């Protein structure tokens, strides 16, 4: 009796052990496969293409929101996204008053359909300014602010074009950021008006000129103590968790990270509507220390291409991670 029962309990124990072992092996295989796949996607990020995208945007004499040249810039970005095979792209038009004059401005929206309608927005502003904020005629190359973010988004769109993702992705380029987040305010309203299911948003504003510290990306979360930059408190924790996802991936692309809060960029209107947002930022929006900030000297020659490449990879890794976490 004792003998049998001890054999029974042994065999039960050993079954449990082997069940446990095979479960963890399966987990490991799944994790390895995901990581191997993510790695193969990240390897496709092409520094030359980032450089070409950024340089061609900076070659426009200005991308000031009041300049008719911004229409040419927008057309170029749109053509490039469509050229990547994205069929469902559109201009989101909105009216804005800048310096007492009415303008019709355009955001650029590019849809990548997923298995569900939950939306991940990856966004950046494509307008820029120089020293004199209202001057739409002088040279304004806006290489780091924010051709860097736009070039990353075009490259992310290229690399993800053949990926089947659970979530739908929108690549969004805003106009009128420098005049007070005009494009993102208007598009945040559009998201609400159309009852779209915005799950997460990543904003890229200045990601090519590591200024805070060498090779370090600032991950901005929705935990600003200044309530002007944190309208809703209920979404704060999820943003912090989202930031942790990006933080944990930084070493995978050989970046260091610094955690900070969202401040004065296109994520804010979405945050104000209760959405979960983060930003990636190089820390160079310091008019006292960075002489190129909002300057006619914000040129491609000051871009750190390896850094821009790494940040672009980090954004892709983060998107793939949240897409896989929430599909299981």
Summarize as ranges the residues that interact with Zn ion (CB under 5 A).
145-146, 205
CB of residue 265 vs Zn ion: minimum separation in angstroms? 6
CB of residue 145 vs Zn ion: minimum separation in angstroms? 4
CB of residue 111 vs Zn ion: minimum separation in angstroms? 24
CB of residue 144 vs Zn ion: minimum separation in angstroms? 9
Tokens of 94: 């909105």
**Secondary element (H or E) of residue 167:** none
Residue of 182, 177, 204, 27 lying closest to 96 (CA atoms): 182
- Identify which of residues 114 and 300 has a Cβ nearer to Zn ion in the complex: 300
C-alpha 77/C-alpha 97 separation (Å) is 24
CB of residue 88 vs Zn ion: minimum separation in angstroms? 27
CB of residue 261 vs Zn ion: minimum separation in angstroms? 16
Q: In sequence order, what DSSP letters do the residues of 36-70 get, joined into one string?
A: HHHHHHHTT--HHHHHHHHHHHHHSS---TTSTHH
- Identify which of residues 125 and 167 has a Cβ nearer to Zn ion in the complex: 125
Q: Are 257 and 217 in contact (CB under 8 A)?
A: yes
Tokens of 283: 């820390």
Would you tell me the crossing angle of helices 305-325 and 236-250 to the nearest 10 degrees? 120
- Identify which of residues 103 and 281 has a Cβ nearer to Zn ion in the complex: 281
Q: Are 141 and 296 in contact (CB under 8 A)?
A: yes
- Identify which of residues 220 and 323 has a Cβ nearer to Zn ion in the complex: 220
For residue 182, CA distances in Å to 213, 217, 265, 271 come to 30, 26, 10, 15
CB of residue 125 vs Zn ion: minimum separation in angstroms? 6
- Identify which of residues 252 and 264 has a Cβ nearer to Zn ion in the complex: 264
- Identify which of residues 80 and 146 has a Cβ nearer to Zn ion in the complex: 146
- Identify which of residues 146 and 230 has a Cβ nearer to Zn ion in the complex: 146
Phi-psi region at 294: left, alpha or beta (left = phi > 0; alpha = psi -120 to 50): left
C-alpha 308/C-alpha 231 separation (Å) is 30
Greatest C-alpha distance within the chain: 96
């Amino acid at each position: 009796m004792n003998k049998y029962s001890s054999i029974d309990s042994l065999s039960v124990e050993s079954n449990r052990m082997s069940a446990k072992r095979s479960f963890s092996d399966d987990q490991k295989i799944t994790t390895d496969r995901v990581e191997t796949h993510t790695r193969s996607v990240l390897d496709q990020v092409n520094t030359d293409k980032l450089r070409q995208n950024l340089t061609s945007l900076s070659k426009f004499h200005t991308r000031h929101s009041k300049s008719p040249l911004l229409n040419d810039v927008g057309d170029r970005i749109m053509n490039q996204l469509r050229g990547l095979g994205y069929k469902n792209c559109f201009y989101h038009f909105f009216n804005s008053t800048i310096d007492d004059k009415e303008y019709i401005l355009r955001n650029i929206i590019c849809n990548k359909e997923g298995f569900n309608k939950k939306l991940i927005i990856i966004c950046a502003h494509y307008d820029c300014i120089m020293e004199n904020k209202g001057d739409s005629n002088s040279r304004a190359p806006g290489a780091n602010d924010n051709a860097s973010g736009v070039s990353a988004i075009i490259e992310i769109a290229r690399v993800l074009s053949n990926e089947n993702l659970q979530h739908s992705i929108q690549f969004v380029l805003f106009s009128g950021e420098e005049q007070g987040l005009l494009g993102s305010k208007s598009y945040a309203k559009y998201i609400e008006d159309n009852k779209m299911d915005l799950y997460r948003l990543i904003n890229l504003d200045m990601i090519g000129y590591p200024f805070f510290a060498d090779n370090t990306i600032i991950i901005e979360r929705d935990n600003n103590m200044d309530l002007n930059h944190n309208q809703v408190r209920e979404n704060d924790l999820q943003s912090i968790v989202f930031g942790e996802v990006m933080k944990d991936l930084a070493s995978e692309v050989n970046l260091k990270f610094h955690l900070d809060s969202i401040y004065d960029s296109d994520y804010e209107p979405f945050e104000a509507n209760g959405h979960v947002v983060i930003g990636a930022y190089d820390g160079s929006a310091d008019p006292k220390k960075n002489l190129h900030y909002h300057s006619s000297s914000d040129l491609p020659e000051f871009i750190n291409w390896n850094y821009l490449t790494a940040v672009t990879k980090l954004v892709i890794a983060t998107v793939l991670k949240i897409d896989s976490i929430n599909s299981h």
